[in-house]
Structure 1
Amino acid sequence: MISETLEFAKSHNYNKLGLLATKKTIESGLYSERAEKLGISIVNPSEESNKRLSSAIHSFLQNGLKEEQQEAVLSAVSELVDEGVEAVILGCTDLKAILNKRSIDVPLVDSLCVLTDVAVRALSGGE
């Protein structure tokens, strides 16, 4: 999923990407390591912002959608935009549901959608 997401971003000429994901995913360095090989720079939210983001994801899974979860995600996106990212990776499958069609001023690269597209193309014999 990570490689496919980064290849998608590269194909759209994104060279500086924000990453929204759980704390564990960010700390694993998997996105950063693979992105570096493609010449892509990954920008992570601040530690405080990432704590709020991880908390919002866990709260969403336990309690359903709440406004404060959306605000945590939007705040993290805003922080990444201020850092000059060209697009933001949704590196957790729950983030799109949390955003729930909220308007964002930066392109989003949804890792689940990218993986779905790759799977559909593979199953249909496309590239």
Structure 2
Amino acid sequence: MKKLGLIGGISWVSTADYYKFINEGINKELGGVNFAECMIYSFNYNDIKRNNENNDWETTFNMLSKACQNLKNCGAEAIVLCANTMHLIADRIQESVDLPLIHIATETAKVVQKKNIKKVGLLGTKFTMELDFFKDKLSALDIEAIIPEDDDRDFIHDTIFNELGKGLILESTKARYLSIIEKLIDNGAEGIILGCTEIPLLVKQEMVKVPIFDTTLIHSNAAVAFALS
């Protein structure tokens, strides 16, 4: 089994799901008391949030690159960035650390393609929704991504950091998310990508009439496949 290096704490809430899903996935394949060989480097979320607010991606890159190097030194054979937004700098990190990096958007795009879906709604932080690092992986497979309106993007971004990232699940927030999703469906979305690893804590498949794509689970499954390859 290959050893995985997980970059977590962004936030700890979703990192806990990664740990759960990866271990469950390994056990499903191998049975018995087989579980993942992995290491987690967990950041103080506040440090990452401060960098984001200052648009200081260079500091974030240096922090994550150093953490990945530490994981490599401890025997990690691949890196899993347990946060969608951090994939803005994923290519640079992979180059600097010289280890395979399992890319969340690449793996999600593959799953969407298998569903023969050509247009998806993309939810996430404003970085994920507005920048191209995630959408480019979709467009490479001829999948169009549409995003919510400005005020809805602001709402999603704020609740990710101030509610979901702290494990706060509010019914009023859930209702607003479902309303946003409905508007995306009305605009032609055939599926919805939950492009922040905290959003699956709030939105479940039974709440939505089109397929949803839980990037936390998809990414975890890809990590399991790598570990057992």
TM-score by length of 1: 0.89
Q: Amino acid of the residue matched to residue 184 of structure 2?
A: L
8 Å Cα contact 2:205-2:212 kept in structure 1? no
Long gaps (5+) in structure 2: 1-103
Q: Does residue 1:67 correspond to 2:188, yes or no?
A: no
Q: 1:27 aligns with which of 130, 133, 141?
A: 130
The aligned counterpart of 1:16 is 119
Cα RMSD over matched residues?
Answer: 1.7
Note the alpha carbon deviations across 1:77-125, whole angstroms, 9 max, x for none: 1111111111000000110112267621111011111111111122222
Equivalent pairs, count: 125
The aligned counterpart of 1:116 is: 220
Find the residue that maps to 1:33 and give its secondary structure: helix
Contact between 2:119 and 2:189, CA under 8 Å: does it hold in 1?
yes
SS of corresponding position for 2:202: helix
Is 1:90 the counterpart of 2:198? The answer is: no
- Distance in 2, matches of 1:123 and 1:9, equals 22
Show the counterpart of 2:143.
40
Correspondence for 1:56 = 159
Higher mean alpha-carbon deviation, 95-104 vs 64-73, is at 95-104
**Distance across 2 between alignment mates of 1:18 and 1:41:** 9
After the TM superposition, which parts of structure 1 deviate over 4 Å for at least 4 consecutive aligned residues? none
**Secondary structure of 1:99 counterpart:** coil
The 3-state SS of whatever aligns with 1:30 is coil
Instruction: Report the identity percentage.
Output: 26
Indicate the structure whose relative CO is greater, using CA pairs within 8 Å and at least 6 residues apart.
Answer: 1
Cα deviation, 1:30-88, whole Å, max 9, x if unaligned, reads 12222222111111111111111112222313471111221221121111111111100
Distance 1:101 1:114 in 2: 14
Asked if the contact 1:57–1:69 (Cα under 8 Å) also holds between the matched residues in 2, the reply is: no
Distance 1:100 1:65, change over 3 A: farther
Q: TM-score, normalised by structure 2?
A: 0.51
Question: What is the distance in 2 between the residues matched to 1:57 and 1:102?
Answer: 21
For residue 106 of structure 2, what is the aligned residue in structure 1? 3
Indicate the structure (1 or 2) with the bigger Cα radius of gyration: 2
